């Protein structure tokens, strides 16, 4: 009798556990769906607004799935404004920040890891402390210094300014990643006749590649979305990036929302492509 009771009790317990698992997975699935909707709804509405005729934009209630589309706003943005120039400026600033930040952060992080000197950890903490200052606080001193050395209203000045705001965090990240690279690997290569630079290039860099990818993402994201530093350093319109140039569609008495949405939609394309390429590299590392 007791065996039957134990058997039935175990069966009931399994049923309860399965029911709890189903409820847990239902809650997780529901939260995931809600999160995806919250993330994807703004880009969808932005794309929808850039393609819908103006009459549908003011429709009440709003039409989430309109059956009329137009590309006139994209034509206006690309061929009747300075948007292509701003687009090119953003690409230049992002690529310049990518090259400068990635190279300097990699070298500085490696140096902090492999070379010993007094107060090294405190020095690394002070570098990270520099990241705590907001860009608006650093932009005015940058403007004064850059004006004295003659790089105001230039790509060089904007790239240096953007890199200065992101570099402390990127150095910290690379310092942490290079600490995971065993020193014995490089020492073995150097005993076989490799120079320090060759051991750094062929051994340390491949192992620290995930950190380099993380730094590259931060560099491009900072360069593409930057507003404060370019706004202060680049006073001439011909050097403005997208974040500043998009205000051309804000007129005195109205805002050209379809053009704004079209411009922002086009501005997402390089970042998506860049992340797609890095995702492919990340999968290669994982494999």
CA distance 211 to 195: 23
CA distance 141 to 146: 8
Cβ-count burial 57-89 (b if 16+ within 10 Å, e if not)? beeeeeeeeeeeeeeebbebbeeebebebbbeb
Q: Is the pLDDT of residue 236 over 60?
A: yes
Rounded Cα gap, residues 240 and 247, in angstroms: 11
pTM of the model: 0.83
Q: Percent of the chain scored above 70 by pLDDT?
A: 93
- pLDDT (tens digit, 9 = 90+) per residue, 55-68? 777 777 777 777 78
Please, which pLDDT band fits residue 5 given cuts at 50, 70 and 90?
A: very low
pLDDT (tens digit, 9 = 90+) per residue, 73-117? 999 999 999 999 999 999 999 999 999 999 999 999 998 888 888
Torsion over CA: 220, 221, 224, 228 (sign): negative
Residues constituting the chain: 287
What is the structure's pLDDT at 82? 94
Buried b (16+ CB within 10 A) or exposed e, 10-36: eeeeeeeeeeeeeeeeeeeeeeeeeee
| pLDDT above 60 (res 209) | yes
Amino acid 153: pLDDT: 92
């Amino acid at each position: 009798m007791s065996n039957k009771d134990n058997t039935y009790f175990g069966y009931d317990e399994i049923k309860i556990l399965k029911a709890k698992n189903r409820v847990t997975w239902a809650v997780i699935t529901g939260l995931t769906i809600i999160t995806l909707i919250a993330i994807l709804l703004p880009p969808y509405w932005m794309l929808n607004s850039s393609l819908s005729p103006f009459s549908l934009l003011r429709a009440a209630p709003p039409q989430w799935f309109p059956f009329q589309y137009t590309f006139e706003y994209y034509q206006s943005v690309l061929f009747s404004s300075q948007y292509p120039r701003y687009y090119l400026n953003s690409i230049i600033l992002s690529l310049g920040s990518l090259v400068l930040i990635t190279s300097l952060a990699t070298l500085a992080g490696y140096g902090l890891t492999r070379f010993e000197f007094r107060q090294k950890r405190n020095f690394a903490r002070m570098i990270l402390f520099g990241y705590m200052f907001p860009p608006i606080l650093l932009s005015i001193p940058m403007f004064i210094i850059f004006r004295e050395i003659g790089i105001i209203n230039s790509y060089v000045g904007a790239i240096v300014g953007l890199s200065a705001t992101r570099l402390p965090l990127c150095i910290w990240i690379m310092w942490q990643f290079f600490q995971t690279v065993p020193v014995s690997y490089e020492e073995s290569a150097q005993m076989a006749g490799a120079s320090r630079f060759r051991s750094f290039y062929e051994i340390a860099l491949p192992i620290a590649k995930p950190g380099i990818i993380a730094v590259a993402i931060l560099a491009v994201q900072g360069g593409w979305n930057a507003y404060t530093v370019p706004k202060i350093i680049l006073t001439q319109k011909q050097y403005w990036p997208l974040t500043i140039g998009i205000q051309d569609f804000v007129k005195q008495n109205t805002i050209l929302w379809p053009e704004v949405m079209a411009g922002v939609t086009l501005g997402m394309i390089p970042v998506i492509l860049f992340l797609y390429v890095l995702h492919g590299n990340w999968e290669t590392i994982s494999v």
